[in-house]
């Protein structure tokens, strides 16, 4: 694939100097495009159209949301992403092989993190997502559902039941213990989700992939700048954004650590994240959202355990793997984190309760 040819079809400034792969997404392929002179550098992405069946609709979501944010912030070129259109004015491009490509401006003097080493970093991350949600609280255009039932556990259980019945990779028989972890929590998780379906927990514009590495920090101030990777921006519950963030910020290790004694929820990181989040959202959360805040990390960590295990059962079709048992290792590691959250649930509820009382 000729990335130089692809970038040439977008309305970028300056002459391209080099194009290098960036990072390790599970889903998309990402490149940094460096240009000569004073022109900006860019991020070029090949969007995974198996995961995102309608890439143009996804890009319409991203443009609508980023334009809304730009109208409200002090520094619109740094406080959200800027999508670069093609020369003929589209938000993405399909190449001859059917791949979809999109470009945005690389925001200079920024960095991301893979693990949170300090409570201050967690607090900043909480501010980042809290602010993101707050900036979009008056967004009223419909958003496309870019991935059906993304954080909808009822839909995930439908997929799960199908995956077990199909047993595509012939692995189910050897996974009885792991399947039991999922089944034991089915009712509890559906019970939570029903509150969202019934409208008790409100629908909001949410990011849906709030792990630490999707937040950009300003290297000059050390403060949070904005949420990136807006592929999954959709209408859902705010709680999922908090839960997914805690899943990564508060874990003492990476999400696929095979050494399970390193996996645990760090309450001080949970507290710091919640403190930052609530500083932006305290006044706008509904009572039902407040009530379920401490449960949210359990919900998303459960869902992630299910998704990793389901992909292993399916024969590793969704997540990029780096070794044959990778999805099973991810499953065990996420399950250990879930157990750690369950064990500390009372403490997590106390922390949230205390923070909500503070002004
Ligand atoms: C995927 O590719 P990435 O890192 O943005 C996934 C998330 C998972 C995450 C697990 C669209 O995100 O939902 O939480 O992997 N994104 C999609 O690390 O499925
Ligand atoms: Mg993502």
The rounded Å distance from CA 247 to ligand 2 centre is: 15
Best substitution site from 22, 23, 24, 26 to test ligand 1's pocket, by max atoms within 8 Å of Cβ?
26
Q: Show the DSSP H helices in the chain as ranges.
A: 3-7, 55-70, 119-135, 153-166, 176-183, 186-197, 238-249, 267-281, 287-292, 296-313, 326-343, 345-357
Q: Is the beta carbon of 229 within 6 A of some atom in ligand 1?
A: yes
Q: Does residue 91 form part of some domain? A: yes
Residue 253 placed within a domain? yes
Whether 112 is covered by a domain: the verdict is no
Give the rounded distance of the alpha carbon of 294 from its chain centre. Answer: 18
Q: Which of 82, 107, 132 is the last residue of a domain?
A: 107
CA distance 241 to 247: 10
Residues 239-260: pLDDT tens digits?
999 999 999 999 999 999 999 9
Give yes or no for residue 24 having a pLDDT over 90.
no
The answer to whether residues 282 and 147 belong to one domain is: yes
pTM of the shown model = 0.94
Minimum-distance ligand to the CA of 51?
1
56 and 145 part of one domain: no
Which residue, judged by its Cα, is nearest atom 14 of ligand 1? 209
> What residues contact residue 67 under an 8 Å CB cut-off, 6+ apart?
none
Report how many domains make up the chain. 2
Determine, yes or no, domain membership for 114.
Answer: no
Q: How far is the CA of 288 from the centre of ligand 1 (A)?
A: 27
Query: Is residue 168 domain-resident?
Result: yes
Does residue 113 fall inside a structural domain? no
86 and 145 co-located in one domain: no
Tens-digit pLDDT profile for residues 211-239: 988 999 999 998 999 999 999 999 999 99
The dihedrals phi and psi of 170, each to the nearest 5 degrees, come to: 65, 30
Note whether 53 and 94 are same-domain residues: yes
Cβ atoms of 79 and 141 closer than 8 Å: no
Atom of ligand 1 nearest to the CA of 213: 4
CB 30 within 8 A of CB 213: no
Average confidence (pLDDT) over 12-41? 91
Clarify whether residues 7 and 142 are in a common domain: no
Q: Which atom of ligand 1 is nearest to the CA of 48?
A: 11
Look at residue 257 and tell me if it is in a domain: yes
Q: Looking at the predicted structure, is the pLDDT value of residue 352 above 80?
A: yes
Q: Of 107, 129, 146, which residue is a domain's last? A: 107
Query: What pLDDT digit, counting tens, does each position of 85-142 carry?
Result: 999 999 999 999 999 999 999 999 999 998 899 999 999 999 999 999 999 999 999 9
Q: Give the CATH number, domain containing residue 216.
A: 3.90.1200.10
Name the residue among 43, 90, 88 with its Cα closest to residue 63: 90
Beta-carbon contacts of residue 232 (< 8 Å; ≥ 6 apart): 146, 147, 150, 207, 208, 209
The C-alpha R_g of the chain, in whole angstroms, comes to 20
Check pocket membership of 303 for ligand 1, CB cut-off 6 A: no
Nearby residues of 287 by Cβ (< 8 Å), 6 or more positions away: none
Instruction: Check pocket membership of 255 for ligand 1, CB cut-off 6 A.
Output: yes
Q: Measured between alpha carbons, how far apart are the two ends of the chain, in Å?
A: 54
What is the average pLDDT value for the chain, to the nearest integer? 96
Range of the domain at 57: 3-107
Closest atom of ligand 1 to CA, residue 27:
2
Residues 98 and 188 placed together within one structural domain of the fold: no
């Amino acid at each position: 694939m000729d990335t130089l040819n692809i970038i040439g079809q977008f309305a970028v400034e300056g002459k391209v100097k080099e194009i290098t792969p960036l990072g390790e997404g599970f889903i998309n392929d990402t490149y940094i495009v460096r240009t000569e002179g004073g022109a900006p550098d860019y991020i070029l992405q090949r969007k995974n159209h198996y995961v995102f069946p309608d890439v143009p609709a996804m890009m319409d979501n991203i443009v609508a949301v980023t334009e809304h944010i730009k109208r409200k912030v002090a520094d619109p070129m740094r406080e959200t992403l800027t999508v670069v259109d093609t020369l003929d004015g589209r938000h993405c491009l399909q190449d001859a092989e059917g791949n979809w490509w999109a470009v945005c401006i690389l925001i200079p003097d920024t960095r991301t993190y893979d693990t949170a080493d300090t409570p201050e970093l967690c607090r900043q991350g909480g501010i980042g997502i809290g602010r993101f949600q707050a900036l979009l609280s008056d967004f009223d255009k419909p958003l496309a559902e870019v991935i059906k039932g993304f954080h909808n556990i009822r839909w995930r259980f439908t997929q799960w039941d199908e995956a077990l019945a199909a047993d595509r990779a012939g692995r189910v028989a050897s996974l009885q213990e792991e399947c039991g972890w999922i089944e034991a929590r089915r009712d509890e998780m559906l019970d939570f989700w029903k509150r969202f379906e019934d409208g008790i927990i409100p629908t909001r514009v949410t990011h849906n992939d709030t792990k630490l590495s999707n937040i950009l920090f300003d290297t000059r101030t050390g403060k949070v700048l904005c949420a990136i990777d807006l592929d999954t921006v959709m209408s859902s519950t705010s709680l999922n954004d908090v839960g997914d963030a805690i899943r990564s910020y508060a874990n003492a290790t990476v999400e696929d650590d095979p050494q399970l004694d390193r996996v645990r929820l760090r309450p001080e990181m949970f507290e710091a994240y919640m403190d930052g989040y609530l500083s932006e959202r305290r006044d706008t959360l509904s009572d039902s959202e407040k009530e379920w805040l401490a449960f949210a990390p359990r919900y998303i960590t459960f869902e992630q355990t299910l998704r990793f295990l389901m992909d292993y059962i399916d024969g590793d079709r969704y997540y990029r793997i780096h070794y044959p048992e990778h999805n099973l290792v991810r499953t065990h590691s996420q399950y250990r984190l879930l157990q750690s959250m369950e064990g500390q649930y009372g403490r997590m509820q106390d922390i949230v309760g205390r923070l909500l009382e503070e002004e």
